[in-house]
Amino acid sequence: MKTFTTSFAAIIFALFILTSCGAEEKDTDTKESAQDIDVTKLEEPCDFADAALKVEMAMNALQGELKDGEGPTPEQEKRANALMKKQTEIIETMEKKNQSRMIELQDCPSMKKLENL
C-alpha cells in the first residue's frame, strides 16, 4: 500500500509540474487563494483535489505572466517557490490523512479539470 501511495503522489506531483509548463490560463482570484489554503483543514479526497486545482491554476496564471525570452522576476520566482511548497504540503497531508481513500480522487470534478489543463 505504501508503494501505491508513493506512486500515486508522484503521479500527482508530476501532473502539477507538467501541466504548469504549457498552460496560459489566468485566474487572479486563485493566485491569492492558493497561498491561503490551510491544508490541515482538508479532509475529503475532493478537498485535496480542489486545493490542488487552485494551486495549479495559480501556477498557470504565473506562467502566463512570463514574457517570451525573459526569465522570471525575483517576485515571480518567490511566488512560484511558495506555490511549489504548497503543492508539496497538499500531497504530504493527503498521504497522511487519506491513504485508504486515494482512489476516490479519480471521481472528483477538480481532478478531472486538473487532467484537462
pLDDT digits 0-9 by tens, 7-27: 555 555 555 544 444 443 334
User: Could you give the number of structural domains in the chain?
Assistant: 1
How far, in Å, CA of 80 to CA of 56, rounded? 11
Examine the pLDDT at 100 and tell me if it is beyond 80. no
| Confidence at residue 15, expressed as pLDDT on a 0 to 100 scale | 52
Domain hosting 79: range is: 2-116
pLDDT digits 0-9 by tens, 22-79: 443 334 344 447 888 998 898 888 898 899 999 999 998 888 888 777 888 889 899 9
